[in-house]
Amino acid sequence: MSKKEYRPIICQCGDEISQIKTAKLLSKKKLYGKVVEVGGIKPKIKIQFDDGSHISCNATVVLAQQAAGYLYKNVKVTGLANTCFSLEGSSITDYSIESIDMFEPLSLLDLLRKLKPNISDQLNRIDDLDGYFSDIREDDE
97 and 29 within one domain = yes
128 and 74 within one domain = no
Residue 109 pLDDT grade (very low, low, confident, very high; cuts 50, 70, 90): confident
Tell me the mean pLDDT in the region 53-64.
96
69 and 131 within one domain = no
Domain that holds residue 120: 108-140
Domain count, the chain: 2
Whether 53 has a pLDDT exceeding 90, the answer reads yes
95 and 58 within one domain = yes
Q: How far apart are CA 114 and CA 65, in angstroms?
A: 33
Q: Which residues of 83-110 are buried (b: 16+ CB within 10 A; e: fewer)?
A: beeeeeeeeeebbbbeebeebeeeeeee
Q: Does any domain span residue 130?
A: yes
Whether 126 has a pLDDT exceeding 50, the answer reads yes
Average pLDDT, whole number, for the chain? 82
Whether 141 has a pLDDT exceeding 50, the answer reads no
87 and 51 within one domain = yes
Residue 118 pLDDT grade (very low, low, confident, very high; cuts 50, 70, 90): confident
120 and 61 within one domain = no
117 and 89 within one domain = no
Q: Does any domain span residue 48?
A: yes
Q: Does any domain span residue 24?
A: yes
Neighbours of 82 (CB within 10 A): 16
Contact 136, 111 (CB under 8 A): no
